[in-house]
Structure 1
Amino acid sequence: MTVQKGVGNQPLNLHQICLDEASVAAYRIGLDGRLLETNKAASEQTGYSREELSSMSIFDIDKGASPERFEEIGRMIREKGALKFTSRFTKKDGTDFPAEITTSIAAFEGSEFAVSFVHDISDREKLQEELRLTQFCFDNASLAIYRIRSSDGKIITTNKKASEQTGYTREELCAMSVPDLDPTFSMDKRDEYQDRLNTEGPYTVESVHRHKNGAIFPVEILVDHIAFEKNEYHLTFVTDITERKKAEKDRSRIKTRLIHSQKMEALGTLAGGIAHDFNNILSGILGYATLAKRASIEDSNISRYIHQILTAGMRAKDLVGQILAFSRRTMVLKAPVDIGLIVKEVIKLLQVSLPSAIEIRHSIPSNLGMVLADGIQIHQLVMNLCTNACHAMKDKGGILKLTLLPRSITEPDLTVDGRLEPGRYLELMVSDSGHGMDEETLLHMFDPYFTTKDVGEGTGLGLSVVHGIVKGLGGGIKVRSKPRAGTEFCILFPVTDREPEQETPEQGALPTGNEHILFVDDEEALTEFGKDLLEDLGYSVETRSNGDDSLEAVRMHPGRYALLITDMIMPGMAGDKLATEIKKIQPDIRIILCTGFSALPAADHLDRAGIQRVLMKPVTVRGLADAVREILDDRP
């Protein structure tokens, strides 16, 4: 057996051999800090040889050691026994490492010394750092994270975001179960979640959570499953998707508006086309009825019958005007209008269309004054208000009341749009005894597309249109409404001193002439009417049904025609294009353009085409006769 020798060739006993071969670094340190003895593990730990270590003190390798600290540790050991603490040890290569030191004081042969066992805890500290980082990431993640016991849904751990999201503290959340947080959760849903996890693995689901203040908000949950030390958990990552849902709703609303707008545009185009064709038909009806009335014996039955035809035809003309307004193919032409007459006309329409459960009461005096407005817009405004009022009473019936009164405002008055300046106004009040509106509805009632009606029952444009019309007239709106107490709209229209233009009476002699006229329209009834009327007045008239034939006629006989009367919309060549081409052949020809649309080309375009007058269909006998004579007499 080989006897190992220690420092100074002293024999080593068995305890010394065990200490020397131990895997933990051991140091015997004098009370002055000098290293008296070390083992092999200490050399391996520090990189110094045992001889080098024997010439050093603890202060050379322990960065946290100092004589004062060393003495303090000695006192603590004598008071409490062995002491464990951490420090940092320096290696021979200059690097250092974290050390856990267990120190006690021993006595041998009258001498005291410290015995220290030093563990390199680099791996432990690294693991602890990783654990701290993991916990930090968990606590500060942007998603709310929950660790939930799978067996009963008990919340075990949450992070800071979960508290921010729900308003509960972490302690409060950890005292709750999933059903306390998710009002839609049930054991059946838990089983469903587990089945999905087993078959699909982690997955995402949408649900709702309840905030501490009672508010319910939508969430998206990523659900996963983990097992740890024979315990099973659900790990969930929760995102508050309130803003996303709002954005989706906004996108859906915009898409709905776009689809509705496209439908309205298509419907408007269709309505405009129908109105154009109907104007052509009306032109023939009104024209021939006027000729027939002129040829009939005054006060005879036939004359009265024809008068009724003309009256109905003019009502149809007004209806076409409304269709054109709907299709947005009409200009807003303001003129002095009697609002009372329009309101009475709307009441007549409503009386034959409303259910018997809704009673109409009205007080509409005559001759209250004129308002500078577009009569078609006023008709639309009154109809929209009445339609909304009737809808509010559709279930239980009620009373629709319309009142028109003069109103004098002597100082600025507040309306939903702001101030209404002093002056003379007409006040139209439309009230109902329906379900009324709450504050939220009152706040948004004039917003475009805002509606409380069911899908398919309204567009949300009615009151928005009313608001736009009134604002355009310089008027004001007041609204009074409460839930279950009905609604009253007060519309204030500024009164104008302008008098309405008097229409030229159809009676009396029509102007005559003997010029040559080219009459162009693709409607045979209109060309026949124009030919009959104008020839009866002494003119020579040729007719054509399209632009190409008309242009050819002028080429064949340049200078023959003093006047061209042409429709605007025709197959092939439009009326304005025809006018431009004919002007190139015969610059001095006079031109009248007829159209069934109120939306006209720009004035400079008409001037370039050489068009002197535009007549709106349906063209009346008086209107056509006077226009022809005026244009021909205005020749240079």
Structure 2
Amino acid sequence: MKSLVCNNKATRLESLHQYQILDTAPEAAFDDLVFLAAQICDTPIALINLVDTNRQWFKAKVGINVQEMPVDIGFCPICIQHDILIIPDTLADERFAKNVIVTGEPYVRFYAGVPLFAPGEKAIGTVCVMDRVPHQISSKQVEALQTLSRLIVRQLEIWRNLAEMASIKKEYNQAEEVLCQSEGTLKSFFGSAPMMGIVELVDNDILHILDNPITAKLFGLTPEVMQNRLAREMGVAQKYLSQWIDCYRQAERTQLPVRFEYSHDTPQGTRWLSVTICAIAVSSNNHPQFAYVVEEITSRKQVEHQLREQAALLDIATDAIVVRDLSNTIVLWNKSAENLYGWKAEEAVGQNASELLDTEPLPQQLEIYQGVWKHGSWQGELHKTSKSGKEIIVESCWTLIQDEHSQAKSILVVDTDITQKKQLEKQFLRAQRMDSIGILASGIAHDLNNVLSPILMSVQLLKTKYRDRSIYQMLSVIESNAKRGANLVKQVLSFARGIEGDRTVFQVKHLVLEMKQIVAQTFPKSIIVRTEIQPDLLPICADSTQLHQVLINLCLNACDAMPRGGTLTISAENIFIDENYASMHPEANVGYYIILTVTDTGVGIKSAILDRIFEPFFTTKESGKGTGLGLSTVLGIIQGHGGFITVSNRVSRGTKFKVYLPAVNTFATQSLEDTEMPIGRGECILIVDDEAAIQEITKISLENYNYTAMTASDGIEAVALYAEHKDQISAAIIDMMMPNMDGATTIRTLEKINPQLRIIAISGLSTSEQIPIDKTAKHKAFLPKPYTTQELLKTLHTVISH
């Protein structure tokens, strides 16, 4: 291998500068050569790069916009020190992986370059090709690049000779001689290259000027027979001829390469060809001339045809099947992919897969792609997001697809939805953990009962025998703590085994009044207790002892939340849960309920732990002051009675627990709410909620009470609807948690259009303090989810009437 390292940098630069070509305008001769380089090597980028003192300057380029770059980046300054430099995958080579043109634009993953040797074996630059994906290059393509490098140097010699010629005649003769040499070399090159040639448009036909043997073989002729013959004379069908001429006209008009595909019938069968054409010169008779390069793609078309035939089978598969090409563009998207991710095939095909689907962190994406390229496949769990914003967990299998030449062509991705499976596994593990805790708790409770029983009996016996005051007080302390332990055991057994107890039909009024008396007698005097009991409460069927335990636990927690005093309110009321409410609360059924509400004005519960308060053994109290079983026992008792519990919380403002228990007396033939249902006057209400079920049930409810309704699935759609129908819409019901545009942004946008618009903000998570509406404005209101039809109608009537 000969050394390309110049002993004298000044000598190399002198050889470059003698051509006086730096910073000159583009020329067709060089542009054609770099175009051929890109076509021969099947790469999107090709350059004629001249390496100057402090920069690299591109005389001709394909696929890149910049004209020059600093001399210390890229690969051409390295290439001029070798015969040829080939880097199949820049990221796989630690010498090049951190180069700025690899990590940034144009994101080079493949490079092949050949030096341009001026006379005296001085490397003045390179002809190079690049790709944004890993690439392989054949020995024939390397030889073609070397041939092109010699042609480029000869063209540079032409440039220099033209500048030095003293007379027009001498200039013409020398140019003619060099041109003939170039044409001879070009013809020799054409003979060994892929299908290519030069043609001329003549009288709405194609005249073949020069075609290589491979092209002639396609027509069953020789290059000599084809030379200076029209396409019609060679039997080319009119439909093919018209297609070619249209593309040639486009290349002439845009002065850009044009690529198209067509089928060609031969005695051996139909062959598919990919043709790239480029306008190159005007001939002496002013007919436009073009160069063309043809690539046979029959194998690829056959694969595509097979894929289309198999598409019907893919569409009935239960897994999402996606095919990406090597530029990460989606080329296949089956029905299950539509169902799983939400995008239709026409929306997904042609899109960048990373932008549409890949929500994983960049290091994980790199790990996946490296695994596919290195091992041919990758498999694992991925967290995805659908078009609607829904989070999905998939078991994803990636496979590298290769053609018959073992060249990578695309990536097949099969995604299996395991979201429900993961949720069931999580629920199973939680249930298993709870079962284990229950078994442990039952065993502990049993042993504790055996320990506490003799202690209590002994203490009570000793208290009858000893009258000494100090001893009596000590025994009383022991008795009190033993009873407290016994009560704890009862809670543990209730939690662990779900003891049902005796169920009787009774009024909760008496339970509330009894609890008020207990709280007033035992709680600190700084806590004021209030009761609010609706007249004519419906009865319930329950274990009064267990419900007493529920109220005790809730009141004790309220007391602990008000160390400096406050107000404790216990209330009871009837409620009819309709389809609206039931559709928004999975534990509720349509029917009559009693609500027991315990409200305090204490410190509230931190939002970070709100979801954990019903977990067994979870407590925020100091060690020795809480067992963590109170609320888990409450939850178990309520669920055992067929009810449910909700909690609303305002940090530093207090907490409200609502216990819903099914009523047993449903003698009323008319809903308790019916007597207080405000009727609309035909007003049009805009309902904005991303839950279709809530949209529908709210719309039906309003229409049943003399309103009309429009619905929108997000804020963007809502703003568009209101802008179109603002003269008809009287009020808007807006959910705060929505994709695309949330409720807060939607409210602000609508208020800019109409500051007086009646708005009801609704949310299942937020409190009224977190809603961006004017609290003093009577035409604005907040309604927490889930809500009943009565609550909705009353709130709507209030905001509209003001």
Question: Is the pair's TM-score, using the shorter chain for normalization, greater than 0.5?
Answer: no
Larger Rg: 1
TM-score tier after normalising by the smaller chain length: 0.3 to 0.5
